A and B are shown apart, each in its own frame.
Chain A
Amino acid sequence: MKTISVAKDFSKFPAGRYKNMGKGSGEEFREKHLIPAMEAGEPCIVDLDGVAGYPPSFLEEAFGGLVRLGYSADDVLKVFQFRAGPAYSAYKIAAETYIREAVPD
């Protein structure tokens, strides 16, 4: 199964909602990694370990943003499985919550 490591494949310092705010935003992560994975339709592991932290705006835009774009929450949760050590387990729950609570635009 394909693994996307946020720290190794994207940034150790994820921050911000939109690309115009700077590098490492939720929108950028979604476009570079999550949407291609959704389009491929193959199950994929998102490894959350190893970053400085996950500001809620980053996490919400990356994962909740998929639902706003039109992907169903069930499909998103089918494709992505989260892997997180004890220090990052709260972010796994947060990401899943953002997916379930996002409303399509």
Chain B
Amino acid sequence: MKRLSAKQKATQQRLAKKRWLRRLRRRLKPHGIPEIILSPPAILSFRENYDATVAFLDEFRSAILRPGKRREYLTVDLAKVEFISVPAAIVLAAEFHRWQIFKSLKLKAKDASKWAPSVSSLLNDLGVFDLLGVRAPLGNEISAENITLTPLQSGLKLDGAKLNRLQTRFRGMIEDFTNNAAVYEGLSEAVENAISHAYPDGFEPRHPFAGHRWWGAGCIEISTMRLRFFVFDQGAGIPHTLPTADIFEGVAAWLASQFPGIVHNDTMMLRAALEVGRTRTHESHRGLGMRRMADVVSGTSNAYLRIISRRGEIVYDGSGTIESRTHSDSLGGTLIEWCLPADALTFAPKAEDEDN
């Protein structure tokens, strides 16, 4: 190695000090990168506060999926949230996931100690932090509603083992609980619809799709002993894709008979799909599987199937009644929820429940 003279050594030391000071100054200087802070409403729930919840989700999507390479820090201030419902948490988690997929970012849970314990606990139980590779905030408390969730599952393919896991978690929590074949089949049909119909070719979405992706989760509410299962996709929505389904002929005829001479909105389309799908005597080749999705709750008291898609929402209860709501803004995909009392699954025919 070449020996440095005393003069050369002093020069090197002077230059190193200069570099170190320059780096220090750069670190302390304001970076100039703008920070956008998104504040969700205090109540994030489709049932209690649909308009504000959907408006926030839309603002969030627009912020994270803005085209171009502008540098900015984006913060979602979850400290403002006092309550988040399970379906809203699933949709929000799916948006975080899409954000991470598109921007290849490592997300951070900022100021998580200020979050409401129920919000932090729900997101943690849902496995949002694991899904995003984010360190879970410490000090999670059991949520007030006493909800136990299965970790959020997601995929681009239909994976029966993953869907089966949404039920397996409840074994041991509910006496005599067995995985239910009808629930498995309903979930499977919903996921298959998401993959093969929800993201049609040629459709130009307002926000880009993260592939033909689906998200699924389940939860049990201990206080009411109700089980809820969810499948969500960020696609074009059932009312948009329905005209290409092979049940559409029947749907169009039903709409013409029930709502003659008017423009059919999203809720009417959803209702028609369910009415036509569930009354068919057999599942058609390449049908929508709507009947099997309704079968999960049919004949069970205190059970319902809820579908929110685009601006439409319908709730089909076990006795066969359908309630509907039309919203002013689109959910940004399709959310399917089954809710049924835990004892409805306790003595169900036993299906295989081991993951292989």
Task: Enumerate chain A residues within 8 angstroms of B191, measured Cβ to Cβ.
Answer: 15
Contact between chains at B184 and A53 (CB < 8 Å): yes
Q: Considering the chains assembled together, what is the distance between the CA atoms of A68 and B353 in angstroms?
A: 33
How many residues on the A side are at the interface (Cβ–Cβ under 8 A)?
A: 33
Contact between chains at A55 and B188 (CB < 8 Å): yes
Given contacts A52-B160, A53-B182, contact A15 B188 (CB under 8 A): yes
Contact between chains at A101 and B282 (CB < 8 Å): yes
Whether A71 sits at the interface, judged by CB under 8 Å, is no
Contact between chains at A57 and B289 (CB < 8 Å): yes
**A93 → chain B closest CB, angstroms:** 11
Contact between chains at A14 and B160 (CB < 8 Å): yes
Binary contact track A69-91/B, C-beta < 8 Å → 1, others 0: 00000000000000000110000
Q: Contacting chain A: which of B27-35, B230-238, B310-318, B344-352?
A: B344-352
Whether B95 sits at the interface, judged by CB under 8 Å, is no
**B227 → chain A closest CB, angstroms:** 16
**A18 → chain B closest CB, angstroms:** 8
Contact between chains at B160 and A50 (CB < 8 Å): no
What range describes how many residues of B lie at the interface? 35 or more
Contact between chains at A15 and B158 (CB < 8 Å): yes
Task: Enumerate chain B residues within 8 angstroms of A98, measured Cβ to Cβ.
Answer: 282
Whether A40 sits at the interface, judged by CB under 8 Å, is no
Whether A60 sits at the interface, judged by CB under 8 Å, is yes
Contact between chains at A52 and B159 (CB < 8 Å): no
Contact between chains at B185 and A87 (CB < 8 Å): no
**B85 → chain A closest CB, angstroms:** 28
Task: Enumerate chain A residues within 8 angstroms of B351, measured Cβ to Cβ.
Answer: 51-53, 87
Contacts A/B (CB < 8 Å), 30 sampled: A7-B352, A13-B160, A13-B163, A15-B158, A15-B163, A15-B188, A15-B192, A16-B158, A16-B188, A17-B192, A17-B286, A21-B195, A23-B157, A25-B158, A51-B351, A52-B160, A52-B179, A53-B182, A53-B185, A54-B185, A55-B184, A55-B292, A56-B289, A56-B292, A57-B192, A58-B188, A60-B285, A87-B181, A97-B282, A102-B285
Taking beta carbons and an 8 Å cutoff, which residues of A are in contact with B?
Answer: 7, 11-18, 21-25, 50-58, 60, 64, 68, 86-87, 97-98, 101-103
